[in-house]
Amino acid sequence: MSVRVACCQVALAVGEAGRNRGRVLEAAERAAREGAGIVVLPELSNSGYVFHDLGEAHRLAEPLDGPTVRGWMDLSRRSGAVVVGGLCEDRGGRISNTAVLVDPSGEVTVYRKAHLWGEETLFFEPGDEEPPVVETDFGRIGVVICYDLEFPEWVRIVALAGCDILCAPTNWPLYPRPAGERPMEVVRVQANAAANRIFIAACDRAGPERGVRWVEGSVIADPDGWPLAGPREGEGIISASCDLATARDKRIGERNDVFADRRPELYGDVVKTNEERRQEAR
């Protein structure tokens, strides 16, 4: 189950859909030529991120059978690689921040971002389905998008469903941090990987775009939480060989197993709604 995983950190420009598609596809093809079996692409890789208004977001959205996904399907068929990428999706008048997983058979698995960040709430409808876990020739691949990674319950759901590697298209805006410190977005990827004993491949983007700079934090973390590749500055491809079978061993020593040691009967408060918690506090 050893497979080379690649994240293609590409500079995107909002409103330049044809250019974005071309740059992303070129990077994905290069990663596949260099031996990647799983290729991860940024969030909203067809449209860019920093929309002026809802109308612009609608104009840049495209359906699942549009040119972006068709290009990824063709690449997957030709190369044998699984492609996971982000898409501004047109759903017949509604738009979603979507990720698709395409495998060489032509099967397309869709995930719509459940946790919307910042002004995304002005443009997108949130998804309401759990992240998928897809059985592929390389292993079991899960899919989430960007801000989803900040909800440990969401990542745990994927891990409990048997995910070996979680692929996460991202657009991480750059925020100040202390000198010499690793971006907190990358730290969260490492923590989620270690807590769940899975691989995580998070593919960020480069920029800038309409005054916004990006973390440029693409990273591939192993089940111990250590980076196998990334982060890196600017455009480029990071890759690492991942033995996905190791993600199925949840032991962390002779006496401990991060799944077997769970005590779900104690965790009820974690899944209570905010309203339920407010009622209890009265």
Count the Cβ atoms, other than its own, within 10 Å of residue 213.
Answer: 12
From the list 273, 8, 37, 15, the residue with the least C-alpha distance to 141 is 37
Catalytic residue annotation:
43, 113, 146
Alpha-carbon distance of 182 to 201, in angstroms, equals 17
Please list, residue by residue across 83-116, b when 16 or more beta carbons sit within 10 angstroms of its beta carbon and e when fewer do.
Answer: bbbbbbbbeeeebbbbbbbbbbeeebbbbbbbbb
Cα–Cα–Cα angle for 248, 250, 256, rounded to 5 degrees: 160
Q: Residue 273 class from Cβ within 10 Å (0-12 exposed, 13-18 middle, 19+ buried)?
A: exposed
Cα–Cα distance measured from residue 214 to residue 281, given in angstroms and rounded to the nearest whole number: 40
